[in-house]
Amino acid sequence: MFIRKQYGIIRDHDLRSPVVLLGYIGLTLLCVFFVVVAFGPILWLFFASFKDIREFVREPTFLPRSFDLGKFVKTWNDLKFVRYYRNSLISVTGCVISAVFFNGLLAYALSKVRPRGAKLVFSLVLWSLLIPPTTSIVPLFMNIVRLGMVGTFFPIWFSFGANAFYVILFKNFFDTIPQSLIEASRLDGCNELQIFQKVVLPLSRPIVMVVVIYAVNAAWSDFLLPYLVLTNSGLETVMVRLFQFRGSYTTEVDILRAIVFAVIPPVVLFVLFQKQITEMAAHSGIKG
């Protein structure tokens, strides 16, 4: 059995040309440079967090003298980081549920129910992508204050339930589901909410996973709205507490270790779902 070799842009015999070889070496060095620029700060953060304060303020060195995990345990206990992890977990869970249910429900209505004015609503959803989110933070916060939701997770959860990007992702996927399947479910006596929960969502696991990954990453790293809503409430998330560490009696090394604690979940998320994230970026045409 013969196996056909898959070639890239540059084949082996192309490297015999000095011009192609020089370009190949230059491109390789450029890729190495970008890798160093991208991962260099992360590696420095990781290694610097193992230093004590005396070693940190001396001459800068890349590697610490020792890799003592006890320093991380001490910082974790001293800063009571488990509380902020718990708060972030509660916030992320609510944001994910809200992002999937409310955005998916609106997308289902626009894709399958198609009430009068559905095209206008979808056009407004598309146009809302052009509005910077920070421009609406003042009226949003005023409404939160009037509703008495300051010091609760509900404003953060509801904000993820009104995301134009998630609506577009859901609608584009729902458009591929045969309309005959929806009609058959209606003939069986299911209402629209039952069809959405029992028929559409089970068939939409790929796009649900995409939205969940996006929502988890966005909710974990969200800072502005949680800072405005949760400050001094005892419900501060990890990102809010990192900002508050600036004025507290913590050393620079403690803050570095706290940053390491904060970046662990996104890194683990990327490692576990790297394939889905890259496919999602290629499919949606959006990088980053």
* Burial state string for 35-72 with b = 16 or more CB within 10 A and e = fewer than 16: eeeeeeeeeeeeebbbbeeeebeeeeeeebeeeeeebb
Q: Where are the alpha helices (DSSP H) in the chain?
A: 18-48, 53-57, 70-78, 81-108, 118-128, 137-146, 154-160, 164-174, 179-187, 192-195, 201-203, 205-221, 224-230, 238-244, 252-272, 274-284
Do 60 and 80 lie in one domain? The reply is no
Q: What is the SS3 string spanning 52-95?
A: CHHHHHCCCCCCCCCCCCHHHHHHHHHCCHHHHHHHHHHHHHHH
CATH of residue 184's domain is 1.10.3720.10
Do 91 and 135 lie in one domain? The reply is yes
Predicted local confidence at residue 284, as pLDDT: 52
**Cβ-proximal residues to 258 (8 Å cutoff; 6+ apart), any chain:** 75, 79, 81, 241, 242, 245, 250
Q: Which of 67, 85, 109 is the last residue of a domain?
A: 67
The answer to whether residue 9 is domain-embedded is no
Predicted local confidence at residue 98, as pLDDT: 95
Q: Which of 67, 89, 108 is the last residue of a domain?
A: 67
The answer to whether residue 8 is domain-embedded is no
Number of domains in the chain: 2
Q: Which of 52, 67, 82 is the last residue of a domain?
A: 67
The answer to whether residue 97 is domain-embedded is yes
The answer to whether residue 129 is domain-embedded is yes
The answer to whether residue 107 is domain-embedded is yes
Inter-residue contact 239 to 259 (CB < 8 Å) = no
Predicted local confidence at residue 206, as pLDDT: 84
Q: What are phi and psi of 286, to 5 degrees?
A: -115, 125
**Cβ-proximal residues to 90 (8 Å cutoff; 6+ apart), any chain:** 153
Inter-residue contact 276 to 209 (CB < 8 Å) = yes
Residue 57: domain span: 14-67
Q: What are phi and psi of 251, to 5 degrees?
A: -85, 165
The answer to whether residue 196 is domain-embedded is yes
Do 154 and 240 lie in one domain? The reply is yes
Do 25 and 111 lie in one domain? The reply is no
Do 58 and 80 lie in one domain? The reply is no
pLDDT tens, per residue, the chain with 288 residues:
334 445 556 666 666 677 777 877 888 899 999 988 888 888 888 888 887 777 777 767 777 777 878 788 888 887 788 898 999 999 999 999 999 999 999 999 998 888 888 889 999 988 988 888 888 888 888 999 999 889 899 999 999 998 999 999 999 989 888 888 888 888 888 888 889 888 898 888 888 988 998 899 899 988 889 999 988 878 889 888 888 776 666 677 778 888 888 888 888 887 887 776 666 655 554 433
Predicted local confidence at residue 11, as pLDDT: 64
Do 137 and 27 lie in one domain? The reply is no
The answer to whether residue 6 is domain-embedded is no
* Burial state string for 243-278 with b = 16 or more CB within 10 A and e = fewer than 16: eeeeeeebeebbbbbbbbbbeebeeeeeeebeeebe
Do 223 and 263 lie in one domain? The reply is yes
Do 24 and 88 lie in one domain? The reply is no
The answer to whether residue 262 is domain-embedded is yes
